């Protein structure tokens, strides 16, 4: 990673600082009347500073979310500065913005992963301290690991912990069959994220980050990777960018150094599988004859999603058969069904090859 540049901190007027403090305090305590009062103070203050466009936009947002909660207001504020980025052809949104409710405690992680994630949260929350010493908080993360190992949940939990909306990039809209359109869509996405603080999430990142020397890829995808590298290098914002991939071996080597941290998500250990089963079964009765540790040993190699599917399958059988508890027979049968499912998935798994780009009739291509 290149050397970090010192940013000159911006001076905040005392009155503005006081209003922001009141706004945040009301947000964290859920005090809607105080929250709205502080918001109106900020709007009037912006008007006194002749920031008319911003003041009018803030007033429009505040009126449009009348009666809602401070957290929902922040969500509306983060996604309202201009229209959502859209694909030119289908007019489809290029990102899907949600307010995550996943907590980090909901995800079973290795101690090393937990420490890495907590460090990222600490850096982001102490960003001003780091910048005052010429350093930057982690802003770009790459999550690697097999499918179903918790990458998407961790991205949601990170956004929740940092009070950021989760803006998931929709690759079905971003990737275009027309020359140059995919890169143009990516620029719209980064511009959207530059103007407001969000957690920008690129799930299944290998869709656009493949190795440029791959023999089965065409020139357009290579140009997209080049453009994406340039966008990442030039992207400086309060936004946290997170990319996730199931196939890190397919990624272009030049992408790796663009990320501040790379987190590896392995399949769960026996202890983690047992912990996951306990969590999934917390609302049902499990027979005393069930030995979860023994069952967990029989599930080594399963992903987090596989373990959850086994638990859900077992619970369904108990409910539909009107049983009183999860028995060894029910649980073991669910494990065997999932093993067959995993085997079928492994046999049929593959990487989809994008369609080759074609020129748009109304545009010149180069």
Query: What is the tens place of the pLDDT at every residue in 119-145?
Result: 999 999 888 888 899 998 999 999 999
DSSP letter at 250? G
Residues in the chain: 366
Distance between start and end Cα atoms, the chain: 32
116 and 61 assigned to the same domain = no
- Where a domain ends, among 221, 249, 264? 264
**Cα separation values, 226 from 16, 218, 253, Å:** 42, 13, 12
Q: Which residues are CB-neighbours of 100 under 8 A, at least 6 positions away?
A: 156, 157, 159, 160, 165, 166
Same domain? 331 vs 247: no
Residue 347, pLDDT score: 58
Choose the weakest-confidence range: 108-117, 165-174, 200-209, 307-316. Answer: 200-209
User: Does 7 reside within a domain?
Assistant: no
pLDDT for position 302: 93
Query: Can you tell me the mean pLDDT for 150-173?
Result: 91
pLDDT confidence bin for 303, thresholds 50/70/90: very high
Given a contact cutoff of 8 angstroms between Cβ atoms, the answer to whether 240 and 139 are in contact is yes
The CATH number of whichever domain residue 274 belongs to comes to: 1.10.8.60
Query: For the domain that residue 115 is a member of, what is the CATH number?
Result: 3.40.50.300
Residue 39 lies in a domain: yes
Closest CA to 238 of 115, 136, 86, 85: 136
CA distances from 21 to 14, 18, 42, 159, 288 (A): 11, 5, 11, 21, 53
Angle at 106 between CA 262 and CA 238, to 5 degrees: 45
Confidence band of 2 (pLDDT split at 50, 70, 90): very low
pLDDT of residue 65: 57
pLDDT, tens digit, for every residue of 197-245? 889 999 988 777 665 555 545 566 778 888 888 888 888 778 899 999 9
Are residues 103 and 235 both part of a single domain? yes
Q: Is the pTM of this model over 0.85?
A: no
Q: Which residues form the domain of 280?
A: 270-346
Confidence band, pLDDT 50/70/90 cuts, at residue 312 = very high
Q: Average pLDDT in the 265-290 region?
A: 93
124 and 259 together in one domain: yes
**Cα separation, 144 vs 116, whole angstroms:** 14
In the chain, the number of structural domains is 3
Say yes or no to pLDDT of 168 above 80.
yes
Question: Beta strands 261-264 and 140-144: pairing type?
Answer: parallel
The reply to whether 365 falls in a domain is no
- Band of residue 270 on the pLDDT scale cut at 50, 70, 90: very high
pLDDT tens for residues 45-76? 888 887 777 777 777 777 655 555 555 555 55
**Count of CB atoms situated within 10 Å of the CB of 345:** 12
137 and 123 Cβ atoms separated by less than 8 Å: yes
**Whether pLDDT at 351 is above 60:** no
**Is there a domain that residue 210 lies in?**
yes
Give the integer Cα–Cα distance in Å for 307 and 335. Answer: 8
**In the β-sheet with 140-144, what is the strand arrangement from edge to edge?**
95-98, 166-169, 199-202, 240-245, 140-144, 261-264
Same domain, 33 and 113: no
- Burial class of 349 by CB neighbour count within 10 A (0 to 12, 13 to 18, 19+): exposed
The pLDDT assigned to 354 comes to 37
| Residue found by looking up tokens 């005090």 in the block | 31
Do residues 164 and 199 share a domain?
yes
Looking at the fold, whether 290 and 325 belong to one and the same domain comes out as: yes
Nearest to 166 by CA among 70, 237, 102, 245: 102
Distance of CA 220 to the CA centre of its chain: 26
How is residue 213 written in tokens? 């020397």
* 338 within some domain: yes
Q: Is the Cβ–Cβ distance between 253 and 213 less than 8 Å?
A: no
Q: Say yes or no: 160 and 301 in one domain.
A: no
Domain co-membership, 53 together with 160: no
User: What are the DSSP calls for 37-59, one per residue?
Assistant: HHHHHHHHHHHHTT-HHHHHHHH
Domain boundary among the residues 246, 264, 282 is at 264
In a domain, 110, yes or no: yes
Residues 139 and 247 in one domain: yes
Q: Tell me, yes or no, whether 248 and 283 share the same domain.
A: no
Q: Evaluate whether 245 touches 204 at the Cβ level (below 8 Å).
A: yes
Calculate the average pLDDT of the chain. Answer: 80
> Residue 86 falls within a domain, yes or no?
no
What is the DSSP code (8-state) at residue 105?
A: G
User: 284 or 49: which carries more pLDDT confidence?
Assistant: 284
For tokens 């998931």, the residue is 168
> Is the model's pLDDT at 12 over the cut of 70?
no
Q: How confident is the model at residue 363 (pLDDT cuts 50, 70, 90)?
A: very low
Q: Which of 222, 242, 264 is the last residue of a domain?
A: 264
73 lies in the same domain as 114: no
The strand pairing partners of 95, in sequence order, are: 169
pLDDT band at 358 (very low <50, low <70, confident <90, very high): very low
4 lies in a domain?
no
Which pLDDT does position 359 carry in this prediction? 41
């Amino acid at each position: 990673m290149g050397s970090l540049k010192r940013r000159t901190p911006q001076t905040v007027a005392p009155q503005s600082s006081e209003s922001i403090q009141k706004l945040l305090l009301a947000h964290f305590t859920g005090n809607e009347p105080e929250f709205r009062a502080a918001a109106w103070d900020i709007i009037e203050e912006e008007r006194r500073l002749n920031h008319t466009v911003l003041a009018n936009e803030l007033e429009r947002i505040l009126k449009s979310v009348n009666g809602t909660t401070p957290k929902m207001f922040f969500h509306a504020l983060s996604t309202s500065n201009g229209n959502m980025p859209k694909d030119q052809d289908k007019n489809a949104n290029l990102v899907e913005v949600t307010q995550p409710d996943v907590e980090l405690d909901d995800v079973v992680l290795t101690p090393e992963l937990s420490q890495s994630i907590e460090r990222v949260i600490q850096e982001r929350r102490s960003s001003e301290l780091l910048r005052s010493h010429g350093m930057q908080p982690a802003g770009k993360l790459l999550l690697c690991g097999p499918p179903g190992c918790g990458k998407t949940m961790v991205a949601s939990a990170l956004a929740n912990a940092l009070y950021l909306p989760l803006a998931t990039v929709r690759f079905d809209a971003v990737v275009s069959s027309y020359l140059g359109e995919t890169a143009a869509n990516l620029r719209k996405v980064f511009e959207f994220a530059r103007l407001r603080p969000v957690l920008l999430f690129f799930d299944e990142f290998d869709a656009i980050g493949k190795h440029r020397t791959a023999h089965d890829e065409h020139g357009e995808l290579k140009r997209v990777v080049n453009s994406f590298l340039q966008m990442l290098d030039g992207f400086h914002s309060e936004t946290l960018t997170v990319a996730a991939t199931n196939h890190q071996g397919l990624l272009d080597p030049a992408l790796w150094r663009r990320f501040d941290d790379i987190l590896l998500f392995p399949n769960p250990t026996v202890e983690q599988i047992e912990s996951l089963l306990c969590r999934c079964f917390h609302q049902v009765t499990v027979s005393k004859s069930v030995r979860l540790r023994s069952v967990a040993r029989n599930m080594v190699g399963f992903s987090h999603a596989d373990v959850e599917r086994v638990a859900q399958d077992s619970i369904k059988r108990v409910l539909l058969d009107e049983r009183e508890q999860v028995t060894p027979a029910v649980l073991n049968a669910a494990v065997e069904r999932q093993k067959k499912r995993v085997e079928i998935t492994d046999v049929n798994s593959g990487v989809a090859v994008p369609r080759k780009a074609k020129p748009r009739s109304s545009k010149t291509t180069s």
